[in-house]
Homo-oligomer: A and B are copies of this chain.
Amino acid sequence: MSATIHRLNPGEPAPSIDGLMQLVAPELNAVNQIILDRMQSPVAVIPALAGHLISGGGKRLRPMLTLACARLLDYSGERHHKLSASVEFIHTATLLHDDVVDGSDLRRGKKAANLIWGNQATVLVGDFLFSRAFELMVEDGSLRVLKILSNASAVIAQGEVDQLMVARQIETSEEKYLQVITAKTAVLFAAACQIAGVVAERGEACEAALESYGRNLGIAFQLVDDAIDYMSDAETMGKGQGDDFREGKLTLPVILAYRRGDEEARRFWRDAMEGRRTSDDDLAEAIERLKSSGSVADTLARARHYGELAIDAIADMPPGSAKTALMETVRFAIARAF
């Protein structure tokens, strides 16, 4: 393969996750059925609220990764169906609690759950889904999977708190920021991939390779998301452009622009992260500053770097449709920004 992931030469089709979706489609139906079954409850608001997020617009990216990794290892059982549903429940619980924490208006292009059902029910339904995730793992019975996912959950929660604390701290270093997004986002991608290695019983080196693939893919995804917030619009992204900016959410483009900027630029970014720059004009100025300092472009360059690591992590796996789909997923993660 070429040295750069991002290949959009004339005549070459744009990277997509169609290959991944085709690879796992039949099994994903089985996973979806488990998800629908297990979010039921005699308390009617639970499936209604959970379904708002689970049924609506979610790509099921993490379950698809579990399924594709299991296929990569020629695993022929069905244990990973329940487990990937479990991963999706953990993810959804995190999103619900995020909506409460962030006070976001839109999630996956729909009104955020907390705005419809209130913060209270949203917190509690998150707790419910989180508990259901563990029930699914317990039914599977693998202590190794339980360990991976309970650790991932603890790391995610720590990462969320950490992010909350750095949210408006403009002096946060790039490395600190990478720690935060690794904990908050990449660890669950990693776990989703690793558990395929557990059910396929392929040993620690194989698990580690899948873990690395997932973790680096997750970092790349997040960095591209960070860049996109300053690039695209609400229609294409399912969340308002500039949300991060208006919420004073510190992301890599801002960290880079601040570090590279002069006194006046730094004052702008400090004001912005402290909530004194929230107008459309401010956002336009932010985008201009990010462009002139190369901060969005370099955020994407960092993303490409992690994408390369992800691809190389599974480079020695046997070729086939699963490997192709997993590599193409990395390219898609990067190419979304273009």
Q: How far is the CA of A141 from the CA of B147 in the complex (A)?
A: 10
Instruction: Name the segment of A24-32, A124-132, A259-267, A292-300 touching the other chain.
Output: A124-132
Q: Counting CB contacts under 8 A, is A106 at the interface? A: no
Q: Counting CB contacts under 8 A, is A158 at the interface? A: yes
- A161 engages B128 (CB within 8 Å): yes
Q: Counting CB contacts under 8 A, is A75 at the interface? A: no
* Chain B proximity of A245: nearest CB distance (Å): 19
Q: Counting CB contacts under 8 A, is A177 at the interface? A: no
- A154 engages B138 (CB within 8 Å): no
Q: How far is the CA of A164 from the CA of B160 in the complex (A)?
A: 26
Q: How many copies does the complex hold?
A: 2
A residues 68-104 in Cβ contact with B at 8 Å: 93-94, 97, 100-101
- A153 engages B138 (CB within 8 Å): no
Q: How far is the CA of A239 from the CA of B275 in the complex (A)?
A: 36
From B123, B125, B131, B137, A100 is in contact (CB under 8 Å) with B123
| A contact face: mostly helix, strand, loop, or mixed | helix
Complex contacts, A147 vs chain B, CB 8 Å: 135, 138
Q: How far is the CA of A228 from the CA of B145 in the complex (A)?
A: 45
Residue from A128, A134, A158 having most chain B Cβ neighbours under 10 A = A134
Given A43-B162, A135-B154; A130-B128 close (CB under 8 Å)? no
- B43 engages A127 (CB within 8 Å): no
Extra contacts besides A131-B150, A135-B147 (12): CB < 8 Å:
A42-B158, A46-B161, A97-B123, A97-B124, A100-B120, A101-B124, A127-B156, A127-B157, A130-B130, A131-B151, A135-B154, A138-B146
